Chains A and B, each alone.
Chain A
Amino acid sequence: MTDRVVQIAEEADWGSLHGKLLACGRYLIRNPSLILGLALLLALALFTLLGRLMLDVKLAAPLSAPPAQPPGPGLPLGSDPQGRNLMAVMIEGTWLTIRTGVIAGGLGVIVGSAIGFISAYLGGFTDRAITWCVDVLLTVPAILFLVMISAVVQTGLTSIGMALIVAALAWRRPARQVRSQMLVMRSSGYVDMAKLSGLGPLRIIFFEIAPNLLPFLVSSFVTAVAAAILASVGLEAMGLGPQNEPTLGMTIFWIMEFSAFLRGLWWWILPPVGILIVLFVGLYLVNAGLDELANPRLRRRA
């Protein structure tokens, strides 16, 4: 009982730096999967950032090393049949793949939130029409449409172009989620209270609703990034990515194109598959750990 009182007393001290750190620490202890997920993502970030300092990423281009060499001195991960230094490919590929995901996921969340917000705010016929369109688009498997788009613009595609293509469909889920959250908040007590006390609509949106929507948007962003990486790597594995950039998905495509399994080039196969698995699992764990932030009711008694 006393412990609980002390705990409440400490948590009330939210304004100070100490209180904030304490709350963050408690959150991490309650959600160990967040720690693990962040650690995995941090490891990848360190790998690609430190790697760039130690190795020239231009070596990721073809013909910069003897072809199909196993790992050895000077070539820590060996090279592929086109003479790419695979260590440089992994360093540059991790960076390009994460960047694609962040750009596409970020755009998706921004555009999606705006659409969901407008839909919920206007209500009535507009809301029904937008919701229905989003539902129809959600039924369509995104990657199939992305296949169409990238097949048409294929030649000369860059990884930034890739991110924009993926973003073209990344807004659907955030739009749907933000709309339903907005509907819940619009009818909640504190918004009524703010209206009664005479606040204008903009003030209510930015100072009352937005802060409550923020944790939700963070979790939505992580999901969107994971989905965008999934889509972009999938497209690249089909050969629909930037042909001249060493992204992880393109590496998977080349592996299959050059039948690496038949030729026993194991050093070519394992690193990109491993990095992608770490990336997806890391994003999943972070998202699982943020669940409590987005739905505080899940909070367990610590």
Chain B
Amino acid sequence: MPLRLIVRRLVMVLAVVWAAGTINFFIPRIAPKNPIAEKLTQMAGTSGVDPTKIKEMAEAFNVKFGLDKPLWQQYLTYLHDVFTLDFGQSITQYPVRVSTLIGGAMPWTIGLMATTTLIAFLLGTLLGAAAAWRRDSRILQVLSPLMMVFSAIPFYLIGLVLIYFFAAKLGWFPLSGGYGIISIPDWSWEFAVEVLYHSILPALSIIIASIGTWAIGMRGMMVTVEGEDYMTFAEAKGLRPGRLFLRYGMRNAVLPQITALALYFGQIVTGAVLVEIVFAYPGVGTLLLDSIKLYDFPTIYGIVFILTLTVALSMLVVDLIYPLLDPRVRVEA
């Protein structure tokens, strides 16, 4: 792997992280109101929170944002905090640290996203390749455009339709949540089954909506690959169709799909956040919704930053894996 490429990718990730941090810093400051002060006053007025605790919080935030210091100094402190993943304390669940809250929700989100992305990628790629390969198959010729139309629909709308039919009408699956209301999370076998059962509908809504995206790309590439001379040669050698399809066709056509995977991560994260909200799945998306409703700004900033970081890092990983799959990129070094 060429070193220059790695360095360029790393600089890109740093730039994304810096941009995310900087926007996080400036948006609240150019806003007409100070959301934190407003929230604290509101809490003092409406809820029975201990006044000394609120004062303590206000002071904590003043120190945290160093509001007495000049702007550039505030900015540098802020950048330092962000790069060490320190987002301060949650307002609604004070004094829990935002990083703790996100840390608790993140495994759910990553678990859901990673499995569904993998399944959708495999199914979609296979479907696209098969649709290009077997142009005589009626089912494939109907199925792949249908999946492509589904790809235009946001994940969460498909989720709402699935909830309506399979949870509300038929009662086959739970309406919402990541596990039963009365269960206590532990590492037991029963709990794992319960989690799996609760994740079927959310996972399905992401998979149905993203198979088409992979199928479109793969079908196009497969048609191009089929026209290559080496395919004709391999066929003339009398190779079995299965080998021809997998080792000669798919192996060569799948590479742009991997690049597309990197570009698609942002969309998957956004989609997964909304799917979690629709299903009240206990991941980062639901945490984000709760924080929005309760004006918990430190948590909102933290989630936005962490999700951006996740997208940037996932793209980096794909970029670093790519040369292992495509010998041509390695040779260029």
Contact = CB atoms under 8 A, between A and B. Distances in A.
Interface in A163-217: none
Interface in A106-162: 132, 135-137, 139-145, 147-149, 151-153
Interface string B1-30: 000000000001001100110011001100
A284 B149 contact: yes
Interface string B281-315: 00000001100110101001101100110011001
B160 A269 contact: yes
Contact of A237 (B20, B32, B277): B277
Given A233-B154, A277-B153, A152 B289 contact: no
Interface in A255-290: 255-256, 261-262, 264, 266, 269-270, 273, 276-277, 280-281, 283-285
A137 B23 CA distance: 11
Given A140-B20, A148-B304, A239-B292, A284 B152 contact: yes
Complex A-B, nearest 4 residue pairs according to Cβ-Cβ distance, in ascending order: A284-B152, A141-B266, A152-B31, A144-B304
Nearest to B266: A141
10 contacts: A132-B15, A139-B315, A140-B19, A141-B308, A151-B297, A152-B27, A152-B31, A240-B292, A261-B176, A281-B152
A71 interface: no
Contact of B175 (A140, A147, A240, A261): A261
A18 B151 CA distance: 38
A65 interface: no
B149 A256 contact: no
A230 interface: yes
A89 interface: no
- By secondary structure, the B interface counts as helix
Contact of A140 (B176, B292, B300, B308): B308
B157 interface: yes
B267 interface: yes
Question: Residue among A233, A238, A262 with the most chain B CB within 10 A?
Answer: A238
A96 interface: no
Interface string B245-270: 00000000000000000000011011
Nearest to A155: B33
Interface string B160-183: 110110011000000110000000
Given A151-B300, A261-B167, A269-B160, A281 B31 contact: no
A81 interface: no
B203 interface: no
Nearest to A229: B154
B171 to A, nearest CB: 11
B191 to A, nearest CB: 24
Given A147-B300, A237-B274, A273-B161, 11 more contacts: A141-B266, A141-B307, A141-B308, A142-B266, A145-B304, A147-B304, A152-B27, A234-B274, A266-B164, A266-B168, A277-B153
A90 interface: no
Contact of A136 (B15, B176, B301): B15
A252 interface: yes
B27 A148 contact: yes
A261 B201 CA distance: 15
B156 interface: yes
B219 to A, nearest CB: 13
Given A143-B270, A240-B292, A273-B161, A148 B300 contact: yes
Given A152-B35, A238-B289, A141 B311 contact: yes
Nearest to B315: A139
B92 to A, nearest CB: 14
A230 B154 contact: yes
B130 interface: no
Contacts of A151: 35, 292, 295, 297, 300
A238 B274 contact: yes
B144 to A, nearest CB: 13
B221 interface: no
A152 B311 contact: no
Contact of B157 (A264, A277, A285): A277
B270 A234 contact: yes
B300 A145 contact: no
Contacts of B311: 139-141
B293 A239 contact: yes
A238 B288 CA distance: 9
A226 B269 CA distance: 18
Interface string B125-164: 0000000000000000000000001011110110011011
Nearest to A283: B152
A237 B156 contact: yes
B292 A256 contact: no
A281 B153 contact: yes
A141 B269 contact: yes
A280 B19 CA distance: 31
B206 interface: no
B218 interface: no
Contact of B292 (A147, A230, A233, A270): A147
A283 B16 CA distance: 31
Given A139-B16, A140-B266, A141-B311, A280 B152 contact: yes
Given A230-B154, A281-B153, A141 B12 contact: no
A224 to B, nearest CB: 15
B185 to A, nearest CB: 23
Contacts of A237: 156, 274, 277-278
Question: Residue among A140, A256, A284 with the most chain B CB within 10 A?
Answer: A140
Question: Residue among A137, A141, A239, A270 with the most chain B CB within 10 A?
Answer: A141
